[in-house]
Amino acid sequence: MSLINNVGNWISDKLSTNNNSPSRKLDVVVDLMRINFDRYRKELDEWQTARDYRLDVDRPITYYLQEVYADLLMDAHLRALIENRILRIVNREFVIQNTDGTVDPDKSKLIAKPWFTDCVRIAMESIFFGYSVILINKVSNGAIREVRSIPREHILPERRQILRHPFEDTEGLPFDELPNHLVYVQLYDAIGLLEAAAPMTILKRHSWASWDEFEQIFGVPLRVAKIASNSSAKKREAAKWLDEMGRSASAVLNIGDEVEVIGNTQTDSFRVFLEKVSAVNSELSKLINGQTMTTDDGSSKSQADVHLKTQNEITRADEREVLYWLNEQLKPVLQFHGYPLSDSDEFSIFRQDDPKERIEIDRYLMNGGIKLSREYIEKTYKVELAEEKEVDPVADPKVTEPLDRVDDFFV
């Protein structure tokens, strides 16, 4: 079994109802509020504990923080923001340029493959998770066929190691000793943006849960059936009637018993939850994309242009970091595996001129009296112009007829 298969297999195996006094009711409400708060507090404490383990200088453990990160991706808004930022780079057309800056179509075809797209995606994921290690999983006939991402909880970036078990303290596999098979990616810092997204996402999650509970309690009226009998059969029959009437909350009580639901008299109570969820979504959009308008809502065109400019600045930074990584770290790996790339060849992103900008430039030139060639127009705008037939002025009847009449006049 090859060394690469060994590495791949190694990683992969890896309330009381008797006391109805007002003070007792207050105690119950406070207890319930404390329980709900403790649940939310527990998740924040787990995130803080995970950070402490990750930042431990003597014995860092990445498992707990990566576990928190994986749980955060259950948030649809956060996941969409991450995917949007990744796709802005993954969907670029990457090419190989020669020394003179021209695109080499033959070499560019070598990277127009699914494995290369996977590499770019894994590299972009490091922005959010902190780091990635790419395993060159399958190579045949001098070409890469498949790549995999090593589980991040097994990776210690500071020690440059891969651990067999995420909690072991023994020395792991130094991935720098296998640079042509294990490729490390860290575009920014080794903690990742999800560290800052965690507390906001936890707050939002509990707002959703509280809103759902509010809806269940106050959204549908409570139905109460009072039975003037202590017969269990009568009570069961009444309970059956209530069940058949719908899914809302219901109760069967003796006459004299009471159920009190303390509600909020305001008609827009739901805004407490809605505003909190919206505020968290706005903060997450700023964290991931630097602005809110391209993902959350829109306003005037001038404001949209400012927000789009901010997003484009982040995209350009991501492009630069990915290209640095491709040229400095991935290119030597491809050369090792037999790809015909010279030291002067460079990864680049193919950029096509905006047709609107080109039209404005060409219009300016034509207004200045410059004639554009047929070949230029067809190549630039990807159109095929019809052949122009040259007209002989002498043979044109519209030209010759007046001249003939003048000649006849003097005969």
Percent of the chain with pLDDT over 70: 64
Report the C-alpha gap between 270 and 210 in whole angstroms: 10
**Rounded (10°) CA dihedral 330, 336, 342, 344:** 40
Nearest to 100 by CA among 335, 330, 348, 288: 348
Report the C-alpha gap between 79 and 57 in whole angstroms: 31
Report the C-alpha gap between 203 and 273 in whole angstroms: 11
Report the C-alpha gap between 115 and 263 in whole angstroms: 57
Nearest to 129 by CA among 182, 179, 68, 74: 68
**Rg of the chain over CA atoms, in angstroms?**
35
pLDDT digits (tens, 9 = 90+) for 170-194: 778 899 999 999 999 999 999 999 9
Tell me the domain boundaries of the chain.
Answer: 1-221+269-351, 223-260, 355-409
* Average pLDDT along the chain: 78
Give Cα separations from 271 to 199, 207, 211, 253, 278 (angstroms): 21, 11, 9, 34, 10
Question: CB-based contacts of 130: which residues, under 8 Å, 6+ apart?
Answer: 152, 157, 186, 189, 190, 191, 192, 195
Q: Is there a contact between 224 and 250 (Cβ–Cβ < 8 Å)? A: yes
Position 164 scores a pLDDT of 87
**Which pTM was predicted?**
0.69
Listed in sequence order, the DSSP H helices in 20-133 are: 22-54, 63-72, 76-90, 105-111, 114-129
Q: Is there a contact between 204 and 276 (Cβ–Cβ < 8 Å)? A: yes
pLDDT digits (tens, 9 = 90+) for 369-400: 888 887 877 777 767 777 766 555 555 555 44
Report the C-alpha gap between 329 and 134 in whole angstroms: 11
Q: Quickly list DSSP for 78-98.
A: HHHHHHHHHHHHHTS-EEEE-
Tell me which of 164-173, 219-228, 351-360 is least confident.
219-228
